[in-house]
């Protein structure tokens, strides 16, 4: 395990991402000297500068001078200029998975894992614990709107953390409580087969101690299977909506008159009450149900937890309402979402359809990575059934080189949607929206890359013309 020394100078390469920026914030609050670098500065790095970090725009060997430890993001290759410089200077180099365990040392860890819903569930758990006065520490893969931060060091014993499977980050954790939302194949650039990914999640469940608790969603077959395997070595609680083995169940999903989502919660056959959420979708109801199970394990009453969830405002880019235009013909809502896996896209669009019934539904999608697009092409082809209109931009490469024959034009052909268009550049998508969207409508922009500004630009152009 990494040995952290108080006051140590730690340099983080890739500090502009949610993962390392959160770690940097925690380290700053714990009294470490922090520097970091990334290709460009952003809102996350600007906030870190205000909190005392030194941020370098661009990468150079000189950036690591004076550092006593280097922490790198999953996107940083072994031949990176700052990694090579650190090795020449004898500075130890660690991954996120190496340092994350050291950060949680001395805390009671609550780790949220799963292919989908990690950020929202982690944020919901955090919100409930904060409302109950537990003052947890937390690391979330998005900015919690109620606090304005993605990480914080609290005075309580609990440390809530989003447990990312990529690059085996979650195998650096030994949580007292683990939540397993679901297991579905993703990250084909790292996990070469579905079996390899499932095995990684199995190893994660094995990190929960004998006196710990594994909370798993029985609606997902693989999550339930791994939980049943783990039940021989630790306590397991199942939750869900469709499974008779679940101790905790959600049902009677509906939209209230004021537009909120609502569902009933049953524990061991007893109705506990109804939960209201500002976020739509059955998938978010299940995320909330997981948070209720965690709350119960911490001695928090159902009524108090439900009240906290009703006040939950979400995190950035998780069904985030960016604005709503008023026209004589009706309203146009514009939503940003992080969805980039077929299952997440399908759930997001179904939630939008339910929340904004009667409106034309526009989906704008920026595919994320060539390997994912290639591996899940058949699933993408059917994920957009709820949308009336679909715009597909070019693939966001992230850390990858192009794969011959894998491109968005081929994705559009495979989709066989009646109203799908290929808009290669982000600007093309903005122009198409501005020209074609008519009220009443809802526009959902889905991207894990650099497409979120589509929402802001579309809103700006329409407002400029209408004077709103």
Q: Out of 162, 165, 184, 350, pick the active-site residue.
A: 162
The DSSP line for 122-135 is: HHHHHHHHHHTT--
Per annotation, catalytic residue among 45, 115, 119, 205:
119
Tokens (6 digits) for 67: 């550092």
- The two tokens of residue 237 are 């609680």
Strands 158-162 and 137-144: parallel
Is 33 a residue of the active site? no
H helix runs in 172-317, sequence order = 194-205, 221-230, 282-297, 302-310
CB 286 within 8 A of CB 250: yes
> Is 87 considered catalytic here?
no
Residue 121 tokens read as 């569930």
Q: What are the C-alpha distances in Å from 138 to residues 102, 116, 189, 442?
A: 14, 19, 28, 33
Say how far apart CA 437 and CA 232 lie, in whole Å.
55
* Angstrom distance (rounded) from CA 381 to CA 408: 12
Full DSSP string of 51-89: TT-EEEES--GGGGTT-SEEEE-TT--TT-HHHHHHHHT
Q: Which residues pair with 235 in a beta bridge?
A: 213
Helix (H, G, I), strand (E, B) or coil at 314: coil
Contact 273, 250 (CB under 8 A): no
Query: Which residue in this structure is represented by tokens 């650099």?
Result: 450
- d(CA 120, CA 308) in angstroms, rounded, equals 14
For residue 86, the tally of other CB atoms under 10 A from its CB is: 22
Confirm whether 41 is a catalytic residue: no
Distance CA 349, CA 367 (A): 15
Q: Are strands 149-152 and 137-144 parallel, antiparallel or unpaired?
A: antiparallel
CA dihedral 293, 448, 383, 117 (to 10 degrees): 0
According to DSSP, the residues that pair with 320 across neighbouring strands are 336
Q: Looking at the DSSP assignment, which residues form a beta bridge with residue 9?
A: 33
Catalytic residues: 118-119, 162
């Amino acid at each position: 395990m990494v040995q952290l020394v108080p006051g140590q100078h730690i340099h983080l390469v890739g500090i502009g991402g949610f993962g390392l920026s959160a770690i940097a914030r925690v380290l700053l609050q714990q009294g470490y000297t922090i520097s970091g670098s990334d290709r460009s500065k952003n809102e996350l790095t600007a906030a870190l500068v205000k909190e005392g970090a030194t941020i370098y725009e661009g990468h150079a060997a000189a950036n690591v001078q004076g550092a006593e430890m280097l922490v790198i993001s999953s996107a940083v290759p072994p031949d990176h200029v700052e990694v090579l410089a650190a090795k020449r200077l004898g500075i130890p180099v660690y991954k996120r998975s190496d340092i994350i365990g050291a950060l949680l040392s001395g805390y009671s860890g609550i780790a949220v894992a799963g292919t989908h819903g990690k950020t929202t569930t982690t944020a919901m758990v955090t919100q409930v614990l904060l409302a109950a006065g537990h003052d947890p520490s937390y690391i979330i893969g998005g900015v919690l709107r109620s606090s304005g931060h993605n990480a914080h060091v609290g005075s309580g014993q609990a440390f809530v953390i989003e447990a990312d499977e990529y690059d085996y980050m979650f195998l650096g954790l030994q949580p007292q409580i683990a939540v397993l939302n679901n297991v579905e194949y993703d990250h084909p650039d790292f996990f070469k087969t579905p079996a390899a990914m499932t095995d990684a999640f199995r190893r994660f469940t094995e990190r929960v101690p004998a006196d710990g608790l594994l909370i798993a969603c029985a609606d997902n077959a693989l999550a339930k299977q791994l939980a049943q395997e783990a039940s021989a070595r630790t306590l397991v609680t199942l939750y869900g909506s469709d499974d008779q083995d679940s101790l905790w169940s959600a049902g009677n999903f509906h939209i209230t008159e004021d537009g909120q989502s609502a569902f009933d919660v049953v524990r061991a056959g007893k109705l506990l009450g109804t939960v209201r959420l500002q976020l739509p979708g059955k998938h978010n109801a299940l995320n909330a149900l997981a948070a209720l199970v965690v709350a119960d394990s911490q001695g928090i009453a159902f009524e108090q937890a439900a009240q906290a969830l009703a006040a939950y405002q979400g995190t950035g880019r998780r069904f985030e309402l960016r604005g709503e235009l008023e026209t004589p013909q009706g309203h146009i809502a514009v939503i940003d979402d992080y969805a980039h896996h077929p299952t997440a896209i399908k759930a997001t669009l179904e939630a939008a359809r339910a929340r904004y019934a009667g409106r034309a539904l526009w989906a704008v999608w920026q595919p994320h990575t060539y390997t994912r697009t290639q591996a899940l092409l058949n699933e993408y082809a059917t994920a957009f059934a709820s949308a009336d209109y679909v715009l597909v931009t070019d693939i966001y490469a992230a850390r990858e080189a192009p794969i011959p024959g894998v491109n968005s034009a081929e994705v559009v052909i495979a989709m066989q949607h009646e109203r799908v268009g290929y808009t290669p550049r982000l600007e093309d998508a903005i122009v198409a929206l501005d020209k074609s969207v008519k009220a009443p409508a809802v526009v959902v922009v889905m991207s894990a890359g650099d497409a979120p500004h589509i929402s802001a630009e579309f809103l700006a152009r329409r407002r400029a013309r209408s004077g709103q």
